[in-house]
């Protein structure tokens, strides 16, 4: 498809992002970009935390607050009470204040539509509630807990995905001004260029790994012009040179000392022979 067509679809707020992502998947295939194809798949189907936690996008992590219902003696109760995170076990403090939005774009759009102008509740698992049950309020047991997420946070996720994809397309247009997506060359240099644009525009990554068949991988720091692999090699050579220098210095001092010792012994023998 034409890059301009997808660009026009992206800036049209009436077109749902879930529909846009299908066009982006076609674009990924035409550009021969495995990275873009993988990203569009995950954004459409949702993320699997166990498999994707190392590559989980930062824009899908949002701040949240946790509330709960509590029951106490003699029928006392406390409803919709905030959970003080300082009272939680350390491994649950981040869980109570941050939420990872795993669902696909279509699911997020549905949550936004259902929430109206209000807030969304994400319930804590029963086993997790049991862990904190008597640790929040004195003489009270937590019987339910949930995270509260503002609708605006979800809208921001959708907007970020749309904007980053738009930035990617604009950058590809600049890199290949004479081509449509289907006509972009599939040679190694072009594929590497598309991969670089993807990493910088979609993941906002300043460290971009670029590798190709039959070549060793080097890691480039964006804007620095420094090849980290080369730096390590130079460091290794420097360390080797330094070791050689130390060894050379040792033997030089040893020979010098040995010469002085022999000189002293020889001088003593001469003095004794002369009777001095």
Partner residues linked to 219 by β-bridges: 209
- The helix/strand/coil state of 262 is helix
Helix and strand counts by DSSP (H, E) for the chain: 10, 8
Digit-by-digit pLDDT tens for the chain (276 residues) are: 678 888 899 999 899 999 999 999 998 988 889 999 999 999 999 999 999 988 899 999 999 999 999 999 998 999 999 998 888 888 899 999 999 999 999 999 999 988 776 788 899 999 999 998 888 888 999 999 999 999 999 999 999 999 999 999 999 988 888 766 566 777 788 888 999 999 999 988 744 444 433 333 333 333 323 232 322 333 333 334 444 444 445 455 555 554 554 455 554 543 444 455
Supply the DSSP string of 161-197, one letter for each residue: HHHHHHHHHHHHHHHSTT--GGGS--SHHHHHHHHHH
Q: Phi and psi for 266 in degrees, rounded to 5?
A: -60, -40
pTM of the model: 0.69
CA atoms within 13 A on the CB side of 275: 0
Q: What are the structural domain ranges in the chain?
A: 1-226, 233-276
Partner residues linked to 67 by β-bridges: 82, 146
């Amino acid at each position: 498809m034409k890059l301009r067509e997808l660009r026009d679809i992206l800036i049209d707020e009436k077109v749902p992002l879930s529909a846009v992502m299908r066009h982006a998947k076609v674009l990924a295939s035409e550009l021969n970009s495995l990275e873009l194809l993988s990203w569009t798949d995950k954004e459409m189907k949702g993320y699997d935390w166990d498999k994707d936690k190392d590559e989980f996008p930062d824009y899908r992590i949002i701040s949240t607050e946790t509330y709960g219902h509590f029951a106490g003696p003699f029928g006392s109760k406390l409803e919709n009470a905030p959970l003080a995170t300082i009272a939680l076990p350390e491994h649950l403090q981040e869980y109570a204040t941050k939420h990872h939005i795993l669902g696909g774009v279509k699911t997020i759009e549905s949550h936004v539509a259902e929430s109206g102008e209000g807030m969304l509740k994400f319930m804590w698992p029963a086993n997790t509630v049991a862990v904190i049950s008597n640790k929040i309020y004195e003489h009270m047991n937590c019987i339910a807990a949930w995270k509260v997420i503002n609708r605006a946070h979800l809208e921001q996720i959708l907007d970020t995905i749309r904007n980053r994809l738009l930035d990617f397309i604009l950058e590809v247009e600049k890199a290949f001004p004479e081509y449509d997506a289907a006509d972009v060359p599939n040679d190694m240099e072009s594929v590497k260029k598309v991969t670089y644009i993807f990493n910088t525009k979609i993941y906002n990554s300043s460290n971009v790994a670029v590798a190709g068949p039959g070549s060793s991988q080097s890691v480039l720091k964006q804007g620095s012009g420094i090849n980290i692999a080369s730096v390590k090699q130079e460091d290794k050579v420097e360390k080797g040179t330094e070791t050689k220098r130390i060894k050379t210095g040792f033997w030089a001092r040893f020979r010098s000392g040995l010469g002085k010792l022999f000189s002293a012994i020889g001088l003593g023998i001469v003095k004794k022979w002369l009777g001095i």
